[in-house]
Amino acid sequence: MRNRVIKLSYTECKKPFNYLLQKMEKSEEFFFDSDWVEFNKLLNASFTKTTVMSYQEIMNFYTGVYGFKSKKEKKLIETIQNKALTEYSKKHVAKKVENITKTTQKRINKIVTAGQSAGKNRKEIAKELVNNINGMKKNRAMTIARTESANSTSYINHSSLSELGLKRKWVHVGGGKTDREEHVACDNEVVEGDDDYSCGLAYPHEPGADAGDIINCYCLEIMAI
């Protein structure tokens, strides 16, 4: 389920960075204020679409795996997840867009300033910008896609389980050098109500958690049977 969301999210997250690349390759100036407004708009649209895709995938997951098949059960899940979808968009999407836009601006400003200090001309600086943003387009966009799809999926899933009053179980997904010891310790841990897991998180990819607990984390929260 998450792999499908990540693939679709990556396609969406590339769009704003592709826009910057096209502007750099065509414009005599580097960027105008209107370019950043458009970048922000595209990024917001990407995150919103990613969140909706996460919601749709989770709906299929609940109805298929958990066996919610009656019209009453489906309506209940849909109502709960629509509420979670709205809350997530209001609380987190705009903030993430702002943070990423600022980070990208700082990176570009740093490259331009360093190039000017080194006596490089506009074409040389533009080439360096294209190379760096190209790397960001691929690597950064994939990191954003993975992180955002995991965050939105986990948020909607957790909200649904909590609203239904179901026990929840942490499932560690990993198996490499990047495994987080705290997350491994949470594997198969069961909680209920408002209780947090032993690692201190309410659920995997909880918004507001340290970046070390979120970036490239594949852990899941499922219904404890």
Average pLDDT over residues 164-180: 83
Torsions phi, psi for 213 (to 5 deg)? -90, -10
Tens of pLDDT, residues 112-133: 888 888 888 877 888 888 788 7
Per-residue model confidence (pLDDT) at position 223? 84
Could you tell me the pTM of the whole model?
Answer: 0.72
Cα-based distances in Å from 7 to 4, 12, 144, 161: 5, 9, 12, 25
Per-residue model confidence (pLDDT) at position 84? 78
Per-residue model confidence (pLDDT) at position 169? 94
pLDDT reading at 176 higher than 70: no
Per-residue model confidence (pLDDT) at position 201? 95
Report the chain's mean pLDDT, rounded to a whole number. Answer: 82
**Reduced 3-state DSSP string for 178-221:** CCCHHHHHHCCCEECCCCCCCCCCCCCCCCCCCHHHHCCCCCEE
pLDDT reading at 85 higher than 80: no
Tens of pLDDT, residues 58-73: 777 766 666 666 676 6
- Residue 137, CA atoms < 13 Å, CB-side half-sphere: 17
